[in-house]
Amino acid sequence: MKVRSLKLREAHKSINGNNDNNPSLCSVLWDQQAHHLVTASSSDPSISIHDPLIPSNPPKILRHHRDGVTALALSPNSTCLASGSIDHSVKLYKFPSGEFETNVTRFTLPIRALAFNKSGSMVAAAGDDEGIKLINTIDGSIARVLKGHKGPVTGLAFDPINEYLATVDSVGTVLFWELQSGGILHTLKSVAPNNISDTSFMNVVSWSPDGETLAVPGLRNDVVMYDRDTAEKLFSLRGDHVQPVCYLSWSPNGKYMATSGLDRQILIWDVDKKQDIDRQKFEDRISGMAWKPIGNVLAVIDVMGKYGLWELVVPSSMKSPTEDIPSLKNSNGVLLFDEEDPEPSTSGGLSEFAEDILCESEPSCRKRLRKQSESEDPDEDIDDELNLLPKTETRKKVHRASKDNLDKGNGLRNTVTPAWLKMQEAFQPGATPPQRGKRRFLCYNMLGTITTVENDGYSHIEIDFHDTGRGPRLPSMTDYFGFTMASLNENGSVFANPCKGEKNMSTLMYRPFSSWANNSEWSMRFEGEEVKVVALGNAWVAAITSLNFLRIYTDGGLQRHIISLDGPVATASGFKNQLAVVTHVSDCLPSIDQMLEFRVFDISSGTQPLTGRLPLTPGSHLIWFGFSEEGQLSSYDSKGVLRVFTSQYGGSWLPVFSASKEKKSDESYWVVGLNASKLFCISYKSPDKFPQVIPKPVLSLLNLSFPVASSDLGADALENEFILNSMHLSQIQKRMEDMAGACLDTTALDDEAFNMEATQDRCILRLIASCCNGDKLVRATELMKLLSLEKSMKGAIKLVTALKLPNLAERFNTILEERLVNESKGTHKSPLLSFNGHASLTADDAAISKMMVTSNGKNEKPESSIGFSSPTLSAPLFIKKENKQEHEKSDQNQTTNAKTSMEPSYAEKVKSAENVLRVGDVKMTGQVLKVQSQRLSYPSLKSSNNQETTKKDPDQLAAPLRPSNPFKKAPN
């Protein structure tokens, strides 16, 4: 076999800058697209990112470690680079920019090995202190520490199916760990060389790309292959290495393997044939190798820090090392399931972190069948082979389901569909995930923020108000409980933490901002019960726990109610007397859609006014939930759709914002709150998944906008404005009804409704103009019927007349006349309220007699209204009211003069109208009476001040229905 030589380029020097010829542990790896090559050395604290296409270009240097870099790892999607060092730290960087992100953990001794799992959500780190840490890459939290080795851990590898972790130490012991339980499945003692005395030579382990075989350097200058399930020795690769193998690397398709030995040569193996097909000798020992993901190239680096590229590693006459690469997962990094276990493995998302909680599965590859006996018939029916599978399985399985899901027609197992998909974990609105060494938000809402940062076993919590004049200035709080969630309102703040400690206890604490009594702060502790979400309202505190208990306390700490919910909580939010809770109805659908339900509790009255399903965009999950500044229930999902709950159509969720129509391709929004017209949010760019506390995030205000379709008029903005105004009118009407039912004054809402209807009429007039220009006359006629003000309807007639559309003008005039006739008969319904799904009261309803208490104590019935028809008269929908002044008892004439439920001079207008009207006659004389508001009456609305009296009993202050015609006879 011909032996070739390869020229290497210097990448790293010793930490002292001298060529002392001391060997170092050097690393090399490719990114996913083979655009970059990363190298590091244990004698150099820097990391180099090279351009393999133009090696002469100087590399990008990352200098963040204080001592030599001993381990590198790159996430499968090549967006995150991890490095471990002799300085005991593990650091994360953005890749390929090299921007430093965070220190995720520290050890007590040098780091020796790093590895990402297949989804990139977890990184395993190990070193000389013998422990293995599994670290969440999203927030830096340590999910688990694995202990079992008796020497420095020098190599580790996640299997491609994310079920196992294989590790090896410097004394040659290999351990198989089950990620789901964290336990040791198999222990192989002294199967690898003992290299405890030479830190430039590290034992390594590596899984084959199909996940079926683990390769370990052997004791006979060979490489030994072990079965993934039984840890039994399968075969070995033994050839021309005359000293132990110090590094090995599988080709992308698993057909070939490169091995480097202490004898300073690399052998290339055909694994199936168990023979070496090529080799190359070097001046120094090769300590790291990496196959190029695209192409027939092997990157190598020696113990002196020199690297090079071995082109055409596999002879061109043989199959390429990148051909027929095994496919074990989809592009999203979704875990696969064993055919015999339709339940998804949870190992890839240990403690349910970092994996996108909404996943979909695809069929898994068939588990390799094991030989059962020497006499087994090779042509045996596949049914018999499948029946033998359970006899050879040694793995511990939990929650088995549908084991016998076989196709009875051909004996083959059907494509596996998981029995369940992962439900969304509970979250606190306005909170960001923990970040090691960084301050994060426990709460961020429209009032202010609560932030925390961990420091030496305890945390510092700070509360800040957006408007410093609105809330008190609060000192920072030292947190010894490790609070992970909080809620904030004008009166105080509430905190909670997950279960911790030997007693597995969770703590709930409330801190009022002001109180007349000392020691008004209080706390509750739950043993074996974990607080999942907290919420605040007017004089109440709520906590929802892992036992599906809704616990409600007063702000003084009195335990008022304990309610059992019928599903695990997803989130909750409070507003004044209302508490909204979202729970899971069932497991995820096969389409990965979450099944959520919302409930609104009125804490003051002890009622549950609203309940129903919570809609989400297909394939999304809920990421924010709360109330608008006006008290409208709102939700925001991971697809960027904001919905608001309204009373229209018996209670419906309306999509009032879609991020896909607003944001840039790499931009996302983190919701803070909203009001009637704006969404308050923080924008951040990929790959960030939430905003940082420092620097202080900038709040963005985005206009609410329905996801309207592209109109044939080209008036999308106007149509959106029209729908938004209709929704706001509906909300105002609902609030007026609620206030009238509670005997409250609705004057302020009358003015708001008047202004909104005037705004809506202006919008409708512009839409009518667009319809006329686009020759959509039927649509223009529909819009004409939705105008509220008589003045607006006359304006529409003038508009179409000016546009020389006489037929349309005649139709508009007919609509106006019909409106006025119906108005006079009391049968007209509000066009907008009817359009929005609200029922209007009839004239008979409006004419229901209400008994009034007069000054002399006699009950009198109001006199009947006079019906009339006029082309110019209209009655106002909302009449501005004045506060009545109390008058002492006087005679009947003084009582009559004291009535003021109408505007100033309104009574005079009524009397003048009576002078020119005759009962039952529709004819007008001479002068036209003009009503100031120029509004069409809507008998569906109530007026609380339109009855004449000088003294009202408080129990009779409920507003009677206003007559369909406000022009009634004045008493003599």
Tens-digit pLDDT profile for residues 176-197:
999 888 899 999 999 999 887 7
- Residue 497 in this model has a pLDDT that exceeds 80: yes
Distance CA(825)–CA(170), nearest Å, equals 97
- Residue 375 in this model has a pLDDT that exceeds 90: no
Average pLDDT, rounded, for the chain: 77
pLDDT of residue 288: 94
User: Prior bond to 687 cis, omega within 30?
Assistant: yes
- Residue 368 in this model has a pLDDT that exceeds 70: no
Distance CA(535)–CA(543), nearest Å, equals 7
Terminal Cα distance for the chain, rounded: 126
- Residue 171 in this model has a pLDDT that exceeds 60: yes
pLDDT-above-90 percentage for the chain: 47
Q: Tell which wins on pLDDT, 150 or 893.
A: 150
Partner residues linked to 288 by β-bridges: 301
pLDDT of residue 381: 41
- Convert 382-396 into a string of H (helix), E (strand) and C (coil): HHHHHHHHHHHCCCC
CB neighbourhood size of 37 (10 A): 24
The two tokens of residue 674 are 């909203």
pLDDT of residue 5: 67
Buried/exposed code over 66-87 (b: 16+ C-beta within 10 A; e: otherwise) = ebbbbbbbbbebbbbbbbbbbb
Q: What are phi and psi of 955, to 5 degrees?
A: -75, -15
Distance CA(220)–CA(191), nearest Å, equals 10
pLDDT of residue 862: 39
pLDDT of residue 882: 38
Distance CA(597)–CA(423), nearest Å, equals 13
The two tokens of residue 896 are 């009559």
Q: Tell which wins on pLDDT, 486 or 861.
A: 486
Rg over CA atoms, the chain: 38
Distance CA(350)–CA(357), nearest Å, equals 12
Q: Tell which wins on pLDDT, 312 or 469.
A: 312
pLDDT of residue 169: 94
Point out the least confidently predicted range of 172-181, 276-285, 394-403.
394-403
Q: Tell which wins on pLDDT, 911 or 501.
A: 501
The answer to whether 203 touches 195, Cβ cutoff 8 Å, is yes
Q: Tell which wins on pLDDT, 867 or 567.
A: 567
DSSP single-letter state for residue 413: B
- Residue 851 in this model has a pLDDT that exceeds 50: no
Buried/exposed code over 743-766 (b: 16+ C-beta within 10 A; e: otherwise) = eeebbebbebbbebbeebbebbbb
- Strand segments, DSSP code E, in 117-197 are 122-127, 131-136, 142-147, 153-158, 164-169, 174-178, 183-188
Q: If pLDDT is split at 50, 70 and 90, which confidence band does 442 have?
A: very high
DSSP single-letter state for residue 502: T
Q: Name the pTM for this structure.
A: 0.48
Q: Compute, in degrees rounded to 10, the torsion defined by CA atoms 341, 346, 347, 351.
A: -160
User: Could you tell me the CA-to-CA distances from 195 to 28, 152, 220, 851 in Å, in that order?
Assistant: 21, 10, 14, 101
Tens of pLDDT, residue by residue over 539-590, are: 999 999 999 999 999 999 999 999 999 999 999 999 999 999 999 998 877 7
Q: If pLDDT is split at 50, 70 and 90, which confidence band does 408 have?
A: very low
Q: If pLDDT is split at 50, 70 and 90, which confidence band does 268 have?
A: very high
